[in-house]
Amino acid sequence: MSDPRILRLRLNGQPLEVSVPPERILLDLLREELNLTGTKRGCDLGTCGCCTVLIDGRPTLSCLTLAHLVAGREITTIEGVTPATGLNPVQKAFVELGATQCGFCTPGFVMTAGALLREHPHPTRQQIADAVSGNLCRCTGYSKILDAITAASRGP
């Protein structure tokens, strides 16, 4: 292993200082070292979106991100968008409208959807479909995912 170096960033609103080697991938740092297992490892090659996290608010593939290259940035994982009690509006809509089946892709979709709604509070169905087109779901056929994101955009 090459030299570990100190990495400083903000993770889910808290400062973090951790020693990691240059080749460490963000997904591995989150899951294996920090035990933030809500971010899923589906393919490890950027082809499923299960590992989506926010970097400075933008949905990003943590499996294709070197940990050191997010130094100084704000990382938000699924743990960081889940309220201490209950669920956020996107999460609630996913549960109530059946947008999660096996659930393995779901955290990634929740991250992508949340960022979409911050950028476009009232997206069209086509915009939603385009926005989640980097997240693979094998269970739902996407229909109820698009329904849930639409519902979340309309508020409670």
Of residues 45-104, which lie at the interface with another protein (CB under 8 A)?
45-50, 52, 55, 58-61, 64-66, 68-69, 77-79, 82, 87, 90-91, 94-98, 100-104
Q: Which is nearer to another protein, 78 or 117 (CB)?
A: 78
| Minimum distance, C-beta of residue 57 to another protein, in the bound complex (Å) | 10
For another protein, the binding residue among 10, 18, 34, 44 (CB under 8 A) is: 44
Q: Which of residues 121-140 bind another protein (CB under 8 A)?
A: 126, 128-140
For another protein, the binding residue among 6, 8, 16, 21 (CB under 8 A) is: 21
Under the binding rule (CB under 8 A), the answer on residue 152 touching another protein is: no
Q: Which is nearer to another protein, 10 or 92 (CB)?
A: 92
Under the binding rule (CB under 8 A), the answer on residue 105 touching another protein is: yes
Give the chain's radius of gyration (CA, Å): 16
Q: Decide: 46 and 2 in contact? Cβ < 8 Å.
A: no
Q: Which residue has the tokens 């409670």?
A: 156
Q: Within 10 A of 20 (CB to CB), how many other CB atoms are there?
A: 19
Residue 14 makes CB contacts below 8 A (sequence gap 6+) with none
Under the binding rule (CB under 8 A), the answer on residue 33 touching another protein is: no
CA distance 43 to 40: 9
| Minimum distance, C-beta of residue 34 to another protein, in the bound complex (Å) | 12
Q: Decide: 13 and 75 in contact? Cβ < 8 Å.
A: no
Residue 12 Cα to chain centre, angstroms: 12
